[in-house]
Structure 1
Amino acid sequence: MIRTSLAVLLLAIATPTWAANFTTAAEVKPILDATKSSWVAIRKLNGQDLLYFTQIESWRCGLTQITFRVNGAPETYNKFMEPCYEGTPAPNAFRLDSHLPYVTFQPDSLTSVEVTLTYEDGTTDTATFQRSEIELQ
C-alpha cells in the first residue's frame, strides 16, 4: 500500500500538468504523426461507405481544419469537427450531441482518400490512403 501510494505521488510530481491536455499543435502533432496510418478508416454499413475520422478527431484540439478529397477528384471537402472543450478535464472527449466522426458515401464508391490536417500553428500534413489499406472488416 505504501509503495503504491509513493509511486502515484512520484508520478504526479514527475508528470507536467500541461501534458494531460493535448490542446495545442505542439502537443498533438507528434501523436498524429505517429498514428498517420490510422487517420481514417472505411466501413461498409447499412448500404453505405462510412469514412471515419475518429483517430484525427480524438486529437482535434490543436487543429484548425481537416480537409479531404476522394478518388483523386479535384473537389475538396471540409470535415467539420466537434469543438475542443477547453477548461474541462477531457477537452478532446466526444460528446456526439450534434456531430458524428464520419461522413457517408454511396456503397463501394471510395477507392482512395487524401486527408490534409491544418494545425493551429499554420502548418499542414497530408496523407493519401487506398481503400484496401484502411477498410475495416
Structure 2
Amino acid sequence: MRFFGLVAAICISPAGIATAGETRIAEDQTPTGKFMTATEIRPILTATKGNWVAVREYGGQDLVYFTHLLSWRCGLHSVQYSINGGDIQEFPIPECPADIAQPNAIPDDALIYLSLDKGVVQSVEIELLYDDLGVDSAMFERAAILIP
C-alpha cells in the first residue's frame, strides 16, 4: 500500500489543512473522560477499523461515508483519504469544543460523506494522524465497505 508519509513536522493552514510552514506538536495525553485524546480514542478506532468508512449507492451516486471517524474525531489532527489510488486529500473534521458535554457529537453542518459517480469507488485508503502524532492507516476494497 502506498501512503501519505505524514511526519511530525507538518504545516497547518488556518482551516486546519496540512500545508508548508508550521509545525505540529504532540498534544497532552492526559485522559479527559470525554474521549478527546489519542490515548482514549486509538483503542476504539483500532478495534473498529473495518468501520472507518462505508460506501452506499444512492440516487445514482456512490456516497463515501466518514461518519464513524467523525464520531471519534476528537484526538485526531487529520483524516486523509485516497479513492482508487488517486490524489491524497484531506477530509474536513470539525473542531471538538472541550467545554460542552458531548464534544464528539457531529455538528449538524458537518460534511459526513463524499459524492462520486455510481460504481466509481473501487477502493478507499485512509490515514489518520492522531494528536500524539501517531499514524494509522487502512485500505478498503469496495465489497468490504459497501452498505447493502
Q: Which amino acid aligns with 1:71?
A: N
Aligned residues: 118
Does structure 1 retain, via aligned residues, the 8 Å contact 2:37–2:74?
yes
SS in 1 for 2:124: strand
Which residue is 1:10 aligned to?
Answer: none
Moved >3 Å (runs of 4+) = none
Q: Which amino acid aligns with 1:93?
A: A
The separation in 1 between residues aligned to 2:132 and 2:82, in whole angstroms, is 23
Does structure 1 retain, via aligned residues, the 8 Å contact 2:92–2:111?
no
Q: Please, which of 52, 56, 69 is the counterpart of residue 39 of structure 1?
A: 52
More helix by percentage:
1
TM-score where L is the length of structure 2: 0.76
Q: Using the TM superposition, give the Cα deviation of residue 100 of structure 1 relative to its aligned residue in structure 2, in angstroms.
A: 2.1
Q: Using the TM superposition, give the Cα deviation of residue 83 of structure 1 relative to its aligned residue in structure 2, in angstroms.
A: 1.7
Question: Which protein shows a greater Rg?
Answer: 1
The separation in 2 between residues aligned to 1:51 and 1:82, in whole angstroms, is 18
Q: Which amino acid aligns with 1:101?
A: I
Q: Which amino acid aligns with 1:18?
A: T
Q: Using the TM superposition, give the Cα deviation of residue 58 of structure 1 relative to its aligned residue in structure 2, in angstroms.
A: 0.4
Q: Please, which of 2, 22, 35 is the counterpart of residue 22 of structure 1?
A: 35
SS in 2 for 1:18: coil
Where in structure 2 are there 5+ consecutive unaligned residues? Answer: 1-30
Which residue is 2:147 aligned to?
Answer: 136
Q: Which amino acid aligns with 1:88?
A: I
Q: Which amino acid aligns with 1:103?
A: L
Where in structure 1 are there 5+ consecutive unaligned residues? Answer: 1-16
Which residue is 2:13 aligned to?
Answer: none
Does structure 1 retain, via aligned residues, the 8 Å contact 2:79–2:129?
yes
Which residue is 1:95 aligned to?
Answer: 107
Aligned CA RMSD, in angstroms, stands at: 1.2
TM-score where L is the length of structure 1: 0.82
